[in-house]
Amino acid sequence: MLFPYEELTLKLEKFVILSEREKLHKNPIPKLVASIPYLCSFPDADQFSAINLMTYVLGSKVRDIFNFRFADSAYPEKRFLSYNKPQTNYDNRIFALCLNLMILASLADHQMDKEDDLRSDKLNPLNDYGWDYEELRKYYVDAVQDDLPWLKQAHPTVFDEINFLIPITLLSDGGDIMKWLMENT
């Protein structure tokens, strides 16, 4: 493994309530969030990793700040602007691919919660802002799929690390990555 995810989570666990620890270990998205600085060769990757993992955990707990807002409806990437990255000296293309995977996971979550959110009057961009699930799914799946041959050839270790967390090879094997994300995140 390129990134010390287990070491980082052990350091941060004392700040996370017990019920959240299990979620962090089971869900591949916080692992991806924490690993992005390493996968993209950020300078000071450990600091960016810790800050972004804490942002992820806070996002699930402090809903009045992190809940979906009207301003987030402009485009799916808007929700992820709270994550930190350096201004320069990192791999933008790997970062974009990881961001697209996080967007796909978010989109899968919105789709899965669509009916419940409608009944409970909870803001969901698929219900409230006319986001077209199929159109967005296709756009982001295609974006990830387009970069897989390059990633596998140029950065085989990074490809393997990402595939370990989220089976991106499902895309090239004709599998349903959205179904996997709905079942595993």
pTM: 0.86
Mean pLDDT along residues 156-183: 88
Range of the domain at 35: 5-184
Instruction: Dig out the tokens for 12 from the structure.
Output: 């941060």
Looking at residue 40, what is its pLDDT? 94
User: What is the domain count for the chain?
Assistant: 1
- 119-163: pLDDT as tens digits: 998 888 899 888 899 999 999 999 999 999 999 999 999 999 999
Looking at residue 65, what is its pLDDT? 66
Distance (Å, whole) CA 153 – CA 166: 18
3 CB contacts (<8 Å, ≥6 apart)?
Answer: 34, 35, 37, 38, 39, 45, 49, 161
